[in-house]
Amino acid sequence: MPDYLDDLRLAHVLADVADAATMDRFKALDLKVETKPDMTPVSEADKAAEELIRGNLQRARPRDAVLGEEYGIEGTGPRRWVIDPIDGTKNYVRGVPVWATLISLMEAGEGGYQPVVGVVSAPALGRRWWAAKGAGAYTGRSLTSASRLHVSKVGRMADASFAYSSLSGWEEQGRLNGFLDLTRTVWRTRGYGDFWPYMMVAEGSVDLCAEPELSLWDMAANAIIVTEAGGSFTGLDGRPGPHSGNAAASNGLLHDEMLSYLH
């Protein structure tokens, strides 16, 4: 199996650079915010963080392609870095600390590109999570100061904690009834939103989470962290990985049962 430690180290450096840029503008009274064509917000900090990450990748990995939320795809080849400079921009612009930079390296293989490295850095929460293919998932302050992540062992829906982002997307896709049936079946539900539920699945503090509409940059880093922690990450159609335009993550024991409600 390839060794992705050098790529993981680079991803941490990229996250450090992004953290400095995003924290510098977090809660700034003069923060500039625009509305994109899809009616979602983008701040000057989103753009600045992605530009910094791209600049560092151009110097460190000039042959690799880069796909980012704000500036699209650049380059070709079997290796592709996937960047969400601020996942949770709506939180960011309102001063809510639940947002993160998502960085993933994907490699071409059977079934298309698959994530092999992932870093999720939430500086306003003082948290970071990461994983590399075959090397496990971790959380901590640095590569040398970390704890390994493991999903929960909860095996009954009646004992499970389920996290989600909002109700509106489920209703728009005609999946609301199944979603509500699932919420009535589990022990506990919470609308944490964005990257955080996936990290809690990896940590074992949440057992299930799902979102009805996502982009690749929302999912790639989360997917490898959940799976390397021993969990399952698929689309609502059950397809493994971050390619279905939506996501379901779990400790693995309850995954098929969750999908039976949501698909």
- Phi/psi of residue 12, nearest 5 degrees: -65, -40
- Residue appearing with tokens 């390619």: 243
Residue-wise DSSP of 41-63: EEEHHHHHHHHHHHHHHHHH-TT
How far is 26 from 43, CA to CA, in rounded Å? 10
Q: Find the DSSP H helices in the chain.
A: 5-25, 44-60, 89-94, 168-172, 176-185, 196-203, 216-228, 255-262
What is the gyration radius of the CA atoms in the chain, in angstroms? Answer: 17
Closest Cα partner for 91 from 159, 45, 138?
Answer: 45
Report yes or no: 207 and 162 within 8 Å, Cβ to Cβ. Answer: yes
Q: Which residues pair with 109 in a beta bridge?
A: 112
- Phi/psi of residue 154, nearest 5 degrees: -65, 125
Annotated binding site for Mg(2+): 69, 84, 86-87, 218
Annotated binding site: 69, 84, 86-87, 218
